[in-house]
Chain A
Amino acid sequence: MTDIPAPRHIPDRLDKPLSSAIFSWEALLVVVAVAIFAINSFASPYFLDPYSLSDLTFNFTEKGLIAFAMALLIISGEIDLSVAAIIALASTMMGMAVQAGAGTPALVAIGIVVGLGCGAFNGLLVTRLGLPSIVVTIGTMSLFRGIAFIILGDQAYKGYPESFAFFGQGYVWWVVSFELVLFLIAAVVYWFLLHRTSFGRRVFAIGNNPVAAQFSGVRVGRIKFILFCLTGLMSGIASVLITSRLGSTRPSIAQGYELEVITMVVLGGVSILGGAGSIVGVVLAAFIMGLVTFGLGLLNVPGIVMSIFIGLLLIIVIALPIVWRRLRGGR
């Protein structure tokens, strides 16, 4: 091996020796996760309890669902800052439907369709007009949440049907929540999509070099459009879960989620510059963020202080391999 580390994109993985697999990003995340788990179980006697461990999952499942689609989007070199605003808009639409007497199946359909529609709108603006996604989605972020504010004002929608509560509060088996099951299914689906299909290879190709991808016959615009639709779709699903869990809709719902989702993706080892990343990393990062916030919650640390730990974790984990490389004398 030379001093220059191989870029972490997937096609290289086949040629990598075993040692690099052991010192991979995912391995680092596993170590971090185990360490935090151990600290948690020593710090609080209430941590190692099936019910409290089940509660823990609610800290990351909703954001994690969006993080899978966001990971693909960021790997392709784009970004979506409007995901939290999509949640707000979809939740508002569901609230309106409830006032009109809609039942649970209709509510779920509305949430998903509104999410998909918002994602398609972002995708059209980015791909058809060739605009930078960071700017487009800052705009649509204000636009989508603005519409929620126009409709709701300072009101809140309540009165969701009882059967609707299952999505955000229900358990599939003993203490295993519906949200966790959905998260795990989505993890497998996205893992397969990204790492085992030609679609996934094209996503990496676009992120590594969009021009080269275009010339090798990849329909860059169409794939990016699909990725924006996926992010919108996952935000719509997350909207159903959050609305169901809270049982109400306010225009400020899910405020600030976009940055937490992106933190999760970046912590999971997805390169913000595009072209590199894995779903396993994102799953681990989701667990880590859930463990950190839940563990600190058990210790009665206020939410805003938890964010210090998440921010530090992000920077330290990203900086660690770089510092390590420097210390070993490579540059």
Chain B
Amino acid sequence: MKALLKYREIWLAAAIVVLIALISTRFPAFADPGNLRQVFNDTSILMILALGQMVVILTRSIDLSMASNLCFTGMMVAMLNAAHPAIPIPVLIVTALAVGLVLGAINGLLVWRLNIPSIVVTLGTLTIYRGATFVLSGGAWVNADKMSPEFIGFQRAAFLGIPVLSWIAILVIALFFILMTRTALGRSIYAIGVNPTASVYTGIDVGRTKFIVFCISGMIGGLAGYLWISRYVIASVEVANGYELNIIAACVIGGISIAGGIGSVGGAVLGALFLGIISNALPVINISPFWQMAISGSAIILAVVLNARGERQQGRIILRKVEAA
């Protein structure tokens, strides 16, 4: 029991249970399994994105361009669908993954080959990718009536009583769990975050691993692009504007250290769920949605304050130079 309490995830899970209990005192139907399934579904995209961001943050990097990548890829598949409704959805999803991968690889190459800090690279590509969305679409929107019914319906289709979107999230969570706990790549990612210099001496190619990590976050951004557009059925340049910071916030609440090396798949998922529950519960219990930003901001600060003790020994200078090979 004592050993269990050491895990941040247990505390976070407990906080989520308490949060749901508190909400259900005001609105009993919130804790209903059907509604919780709905909340999970609503949070799926944020969970997927947070997992992609997690692997980047674990290597002491950051990907600020994820939301712009999402916007660009989403616009691209929406336009493809509008122009050629016959293209099957699996092909579109593969396209989204590929486009996202390319955008992520650009970030990764700049970080790997030119050694530019990731925060600078992705700050640049954040504006470039969103601008490119405008160039691609000419500023026009793709509306629901231009999208094919399959495009919109795919993720809403129920499989074993749960929407496909939730299944995709579960699949992504499982893949990331295997990646982080059962593969050499996962171990290298943690090693780089904990001590980049030592990783070099143990034979890990730090630059190449970072490149792979950005490819992963790019692919996740692309996947989320399709999911986002088909869920909210509108593709515009404004899609997910500023969302990159929500993704990072979910990671931070989930106990992923921005200094790298600390964090888990469970933490990222729970962090995203925590934010998702807050945004789902506010309208239900009659709090104006205008409070949402202030509440999630306070939650972030509170989470960091609680996490601070665990991180203190690790050295918390976030932008510290990584001594690459």
Question: Would you give the 0/1 interface string for A117-134, flagging 1 where the beta carbon is closer than 8 Å to chain B?
Answer: 000000001000111111
CB pair B308–A131 under 8 Å, yes or no, is yes
Q: How far is the CA of A131 from the CA of B139 in the complex (A)?
A: 41
> Could you count the A-B residue pairs with CB atoms below 8 Å apart for me: how many are there?
161
Q: Pick the residue among A77, A81, A262 that contacts B245 (CB under 8 A).
A: A81
CB pair A139–B301 under 8 Å, yes or no, is yes
Q: How far is the CA of A322 from the CA of B113 in the complex (A)?
A: 10
Q: Pick the residue among B117, B121, B135, B304 that contacts A139 (CB under 8 A).
A: B304
Question: Would you give the 0/1 interface string for B172-184, flagging 1 where the beta carbon is closer than 8 Å to chain A?
Answer: 0000000000000
Pick out which of these stretches binds chain A: B11-19, B79-87, B286-294. B286-294
Q: Pick the residue among B116, B120, B242, B258 that contacts A134 (CB under 8 A).
A: B258
CB pair B308–A146 under 8 Å, yes or no, is no
Closest Cβ–Cβ distance, residue A73 to chain B (whole Å): 11
Q: What chain A residues lie within 8 Å of B135 (beta carbons)?
A: 305, 308
Q: How far is the CA of A134 from the CA of B259 in the complex (A)?
A: 10
Question: Would you give the 0/1 interface string for A127-147, flagging 1 where the beta carbon is closer than 8 Å to chain B?
Answer: 001111111101111111111
Query: Does A153 reach chain B (CB closer than 8 Å)?
Result: yes
Pick out which of these stretches binds chain B: A22-30, A197-205, A237-245, A312-320. A312-320
CB pair B127–A311 under 8 Å, yes or no, is yes
| Of B124, B133, B294, B317, most A-chain CB atoms within 10 Å | B124
Interface residues on A, range: 35 or more
CB pair B288–A305 under 8 Å, yes or no, is no
CB pair A315–B110 under 8 Å, yes or no, is yes
Identify whether the interface residues of B are mostly helix, strand, loop, or mixed: helix
Q: How far is the CA of A262 from the CA of B295 in the complex (A)?
A: 26
Query: Does A310 reach chain B (CB closer than 8 Å)?
Result: yes
Query: Does B58 reach chain A (CB closer than 8 Å)?
Result: no
Q: What chain B residues lie within 8 Å of A259 (beta carbons)?
A: 64, 123, 126-127
Q: What chain B residues lie within 8 Å of A255 (beta carbons)?
A: 242
**Lowest 10 CB-CB distances: which A-B pairs, in order?**
A146-B294, A142-B297, A146-B293, A143-B297, A308-B131, A139-B300, A311-B127, A307-B127, A311-B128, A139-B301
Give 8 A-B contacts (CB < 8 Å), ordered by A residue: A132-B259, A139-B304, A142-B294, A143-B293, A153-B290, A266-B123, A311-B128, A319-B116
